């Protein structure tokens, strides 16, 4: 919405509920007689008494012209605003008006600070943004009947993931958009399965519904970019009958800045940033892309992570997952998305050497999905801090850990062919191999998260990898 132009001459913005405005009322009367003066009153069109006043109770003039303090006195010329002063300062008012003897016969102090403008009142700012900047939004607006329960309405419309949603009012969406410098109409991705354009505004709507704060929005936008492409294959991930969904691993100093928790219960409940970022992505795919359970989403069992699966890494000592996968500096905020199922706990309370602990981890990794299946699935191993300590005290870095695990995960081919051990599942016979790797190169990834007590790590098993499935995607967060 375009700003209403200010008339040439002097313009004063005041409110009756301001002692300084009441103090300068006689000065305004003097200016009204001596020059062209337009007065806008924020709360009472009869103030100042006896003067011609323009009603600004809708605060449109104050909002569009960035009035932060009243009284504000502005000099306007042919090319617009030339100068302004706020509060009361005899010297500054004389300089701005060009009247050297202004208020000479009035018993006024030399200066006095003003009051906060109503247009910056925290209780009004969201409403004003929606009222006066609403043209930024392009999404269809729904007006509900007064008696309609907005929360039940959203459930009834099928927008919910089963939990209550935050109503995406214009006020809330515009506030959410304050979290990014990207324009609301910028197209971020084409969302499967319905292949609908996801603009920053549409993503902001999902972020509101999910319970995000504005500072979470850049992370949600990045997650949308990362999953809506052929490499990650979100459409295929929806359509599979395996219980998998997007897993978002967040790295960089920004995770702490937005309040993410890489420590105790990192993969669980209780952290607004983690849960709402992951949920916002899922809601966008559901409501904009059309990826709903029972429709394109054909998971046989699903898993609770399909509501939201997003967590932050601890910084160091092995560096971040993002930096290990892409040309991204450790100081850069980034996410890695992975097509994974719910996490599974790996327990080893007794290993005090990296060799022993690597053996435990390898045994669990070997059994992932099925102990006779190889190469088809990737995994993220989320090492807990106490297991990390065992490795670091033994001098093992990320590269060494992965190499040692891969060496222990060379599966004897005769043991994994179909029918071996009386089990029909397995690798086709007749390939003439001695061993087969459990994971393809780069398919075993390490992350570092969790509380400082407890000798546990977590295994996140993946969906089918490669061209027929999904590849992990890493992206730097763009603010």
- For residue range 432-463, what is the model confidence (pLDDT) as tens digits? 899 999 999 999 999 999 999 999 999 999 99
CA distance 372 to 381: 19
CA distance 474 to 326: 7
Which pTM value belongs to this model?
0.85
pLDDT band at 139 (very low <50, low <70, confident <90, very high): confident
Closest among 469, 433, 392 to 230, alpha carbons compared: 469
Burial class (CB within 10 angstroms; exposed 0-12, middle 13-18, buried 19+) of 326: middle
Residue 3 three-state SS: coil
CA distance 125 to 118: 9
- Three-state SS string over 287-331 comes to HCCCCCECCCECCCCCCHHHCCCEEECCCCCCCCHHHHHCCCCCC
Q: What is the mean pLDDT of residues 93-99?
A: 97
Closest among 218, 140, 142 to 176, alpha carbons compared: 218
What does the pLDDT read at residue 138? Answer: 84
Is pLDDT above 70 for 227? yes
Residue range 344-392, pLDDT digits in tens: 999 999 999 999 999 999 999 999 999 999 999 999 999 999 999 999 9
CA distance 160 to 165: 7
Domains and CATH numbers, the chain: 9-121 (3.40.30.10), 152-476 (no CATH)
Quote the mean pLDDT of the chain: 95
Beta strand 310-312 with 245-251: parallel, antiparallel or unpaired? parallel
What are the residues facing 400 on neighbouring strands?
none
Lowest mean pLDDT among 138-142, 308-312, 393-397: 138-142
Residue range 173-204, pLDDT digits in tens: 999 999 999 999 999 999 999 999 999 999 99
Residue 197 three-state SS: strand
CA distance 203 to 189: 10
Quickly count: other Cβ atoms within 10 Å of residue 280's Cβ. Answer: 30
Q: Which residues, including other chains, have CB under 8 Å from residue 472's CB and lie 6 or more apart?
A: 232, 325, 336, 337, 338, 339, 378, 445
What does the pLDDT read at residue 130? Answer: 82
What are the phi and psi torsion angles at 290 (to 5°)?
85, 15
What does the pLDDT read at residue 127? Answer: 86
pLDDT band at 154 (very low <50, low <70, confident <90, very high): very high
């Amino acid at each position: 919405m375009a700003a209403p132009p200010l008339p040439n001459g002097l313009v004063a913005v005041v409110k009756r509920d301001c002692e300084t405005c009441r103090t300068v009322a006689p000065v305004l009367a003097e200016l009204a007689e001596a020059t062209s003066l337009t007065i806008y009153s924020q709360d009472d069109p009869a103030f100042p008494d006896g003067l011609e006043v323009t009603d600004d109770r809708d605060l449109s003039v104050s909002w569009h012209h960035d009035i932060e303090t009243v009284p504000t006195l502005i000099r306007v010329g042919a090319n617009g605003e030339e100068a302004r002063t706020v509060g009361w300062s005899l010297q500054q008012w004389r300089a701005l008006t060009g009247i050297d003897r202004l208020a000479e016969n009035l018993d006024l102090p030399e200066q006095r600070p003003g009051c906060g403008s109503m247009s910056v009142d925290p209780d009004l700012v969201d409403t004003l943004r929606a009222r006066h900047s609403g043209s930024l939004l392009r999404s269809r607006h729904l007006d509900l009947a007064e008696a309609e329960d907005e929360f039940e309405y959203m459930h009834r419309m099928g927008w919910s993931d089963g939990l209550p949603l935050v109503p995406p009012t214009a006020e809330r969406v515009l506030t959410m958009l304050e979290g990014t410098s990207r324009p609301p109409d910028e197209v971020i991705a084409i969302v499967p399965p319905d292949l609908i354009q996801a603009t920053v505004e549409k993503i902001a709507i999902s972020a509101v519904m999910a319970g995000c704060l504005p500072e979470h929005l850049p992370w949600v936008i990045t997650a949308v970019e990362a999953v809506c492409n052929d490499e990650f294959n979100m459409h295929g991930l929806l359509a599979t009958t395996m219980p998998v969904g997007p897993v978002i691993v967040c790295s960089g100093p920004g995770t702490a800045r937005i309040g993410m928790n890489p420590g105790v219960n990192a993969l669980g409940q209780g952290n607004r940033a983690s849960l709402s970022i992951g949920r916002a992505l899922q809601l966008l795919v559901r409501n904009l892309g059309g990826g709903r359970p029972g429709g394109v989403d054909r998971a046989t069992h699903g898993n609770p992570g399909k509501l939201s699966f997003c967590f932050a890494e601890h910084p160091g000592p092995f560096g971040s997952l993002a930096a290990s996968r892409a040309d991204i500096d450790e100081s850069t905020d980034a996410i890695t998305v992975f097509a994974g199922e719910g996490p599974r706990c790996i327990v080893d309370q007794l290993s005090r050497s990296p060799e022993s602990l690597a053996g435990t981890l390898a045994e669990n990794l070997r059994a992932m999905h099925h102990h006779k299946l190889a190469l088809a699935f990737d995994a993220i191993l989320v090492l807990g801090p106490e297991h990390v300590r065992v490795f670091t005290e033994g001098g093992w870095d990320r590269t060494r850990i992965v190499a040692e695990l891969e060496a222990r995960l060379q599966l004897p081919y005769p043991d994994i062919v179909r029918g071996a051990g009386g089990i029909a599942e397995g690798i086709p016979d007749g390939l003439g191999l001695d061993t087969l790797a459990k994971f393809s190169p780069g398919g075993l990834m390490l992350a570092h998260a969790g509380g400082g007590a407890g000798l546990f790590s977590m295994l996140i098993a993946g969906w089918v990898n490669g061209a027929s499935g999904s590849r992990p995607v890493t992206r730097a967060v763009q603010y």
